[in-house]
Amino acid sequence: MQASTTKAGPCTYEMEIQVAAEEVDKGFHRAYRDFAEITKVPGFRPGKAPRRILERYVDQERLERHVMEIIAGPAFREAAAQEGLIPETEPDVEPGDIQEGDPWTFRARFYTAPVVELGDVESISVRRPIFEVTDAIIDQAIENLRSQHLDHRPVTDRGIQAGDVAVIDLILTLEGDTAGSPERILYRYGDGIPGFDDAITGQITDETREFDLTYPDDYRDPERAGKAARCSTHVVSIHTEVAPDVTDAWIQSTGNGDSVEAFRNRERERITERQREISDEIAANAAIEALASSSTVEYPPPLLESEISTLVSRLRSELAQTSTSYEQYLAAGNMTAEQHESRLEAEADARVRTRLVLREYARSAGITITDDDAESAQDATRLLIENEQIPSEAMARSYTYSVLNRILHQRITQHLLPRVQITEYVWKDDAHVEGGAANDA
C-alpha cells in the first residue's frame, strides 16, 4: 500500500491511498462470498453457487461498492498510522474506479484532534480590583430592605402623582378595533408607555378620563408597536408608598437581626465576601483570556461550525422570548447581517479556543472530575426532576453537564490564579458590584 498526505487546513488532511492488487482481489473474494449468502441462484442453496455462475446474478455496481467498503477502512487506518496521524473522525472517501486484478486508488479527507500548545503561565500578569465596602453601600442595602417593606396608604385628598400606586379600570382600544370591557390593573406611576403618566396625573378617585396615545415603534409587543390606541381610565383607588423608619424594632420585625448595627455589620461582611468573589472572578477571567491569547491553538472546522450553531440557537431562543425580530435585533446593535455574522464567527472562535486551552491546562495540571463530583451533579439533577423543574431527559443531561463544567472551571481557576502575577488596585466606585462572568471549561 502507498499513501501520500496533504494538509488541507487546520487539523484537516487529504490522503491519496493506493491499495495493492492483491488486497483488491481479497476484497472481491470476500464480497462475492457475502453476496452468495443473499443472492438467489436457481438450482443452488444460498452460499453454494459457484462464483462463475453467481457473477451472472450479482449487481456489479453494488458488488464494487461493497468491495470498496471492505477495503477502504483498513487501508485508511493503516495509511494514517503509517503517516503518524490519529484521525478524530471517519474519513470522507472519494473512491476511484475499482477492478479486480488491478490496484485501487481512493482519496480520503479527515480531521485530527485539536492541537494546543499552552502559553507561559508564569509570564501572565493580571489586575485584581479591590472593592471598598463603604457606608454608602451599606446605606443602600438598608434602603433596599425598606423598599421591600413599603406601607401602602390610601390617598383621598388629591389626584395621582409621581410615586403613587393606583387601582385603575382600563379600557384600551387599538386603532381599528372595537372597545372592549374594562380590565382592572394595579398601576405604578412611571411604568406606562410615553404619555400615559402625563394623561393620568392629577386624576382623582372615581374620575374617568379618555385620551389617545401611540405605542413606540420599538415596543416589545410587535402587534402594538407603532399603533395608536384610545385609553379610558377610571381610578378606583390611589395609594402612596411610605417606607418604614429604620429602628432596631423594625429590623427585628423583618427577621434581619437584633439591631440596625447588627444588620449593618452582617451586610458589610456579606458584601465584602461577595465582592471578594467577584474580584477573584475578574482576575481569573483575565488570566484565562491572557492564557488563551498566548497559547497556540489549531482545531478542525467542524468545532467552529458547531459553536456558531449553538450561538445562533441561543439567539433565536432569546429573540423569541422577547418577541423581537432579527431585524429589530440588528437595528438595536446598529449592525448589518454581514457584520453580525462576522462577530458571531469571532465570538465562536474565541469560545472554542478558550475551551480547548482550558481543557489542555486541566489535562497538563492533572485536574479532573471525580466519581463523587458526577454523583453529586446527578443527585442535584434528580432533585430538580422530582420537583418538576426539569421537564426532559435532554435538559437533565444538559444540567448535569453544566454542574460538572462549573466544578471543573472552579478547579482550573483555583489552580491557575496562584501561578500568575496579580496586581491589586482599589476600585474607586461606590456602586455595589454584584455581577461576574465565567468561561466554559
Cα–Cα distance measured from residue 424 to residue 275, given in angstroms and rounded to the nearest whole number: 14
pLDDT in tens, 256-276: 999 999 999 999 999 999 999
What's the topology of domain 2-113?
Alpha-Beta Plaits (3.30.70)
DSSP letters, 74-123, are HHHHHHHHHTT--BSSPPEEEE----TTS-EEEEEEEEB--EEE---GGG
Class of domain 150-242 (CATH, top level)? alpha beta
Using the Cα atoms of residue 73, residue 76, residue 82 and residue 83 in order, give the sign of their dihedral: negative
* The pLDDT value given to residue 437: 38
Position 441 confidence tier, pLDDT thresholds 50, 70, 90: very low
* The pLDDT value given to residue 96: 87
Residue 420 is placed in which grid cell?
500568575
Q: At what angle do helices 393-416 and 260-294 cross, to 10 degrees?
A: 90
Report the 10 Å Cβ neighbour count for 161: 15
pLDDT in tens, 124-177: 999 999 999 999 999 999 999 999 998 889 999 999 999 899 999 999 999 888
Domain span(s) for CATH 3.10.50.40 in the chain: 150-242
Q: What is the CATH number of domain 251-427?
A: 1.10.3120
pLDDT in tens, 163-180: 899 999 999 999 888 888
Nearest residue to 192 via CA among 155, 210, 165, 174: 165
Which residue's C-alpha cell is 474565541?
A: 350
In Å, the largest CA–CA distance within the chain is 110
Half-sphere exposure of 380 (CA within 13 A, CB side): 15
Domain span(s) for CATH 3.30.70.1050 in the chain: 2-113
pLDDT in tens, 191-235: 999 999 999 999 999 999 999 999 998 888 888 888 999 999 999
Q: What is the pTM of this model?
A: 0.70
Position 429 confidence tier, pLDDT thresholds 50, 70, 90: low
Domain span(s) for CATH 1.10.3120 in the chain: 251-427
Query: In the predicted model, is pLDDT for residue 88 greater than 80?
Result: yes
Nearest residue to 11 via CA among 78, 86, 73, 92: 86
Query: In the predicted model, is pLDDT for residue 103 greater than 70?
Result: yes
* The pLDDT value given to residue 401: 86
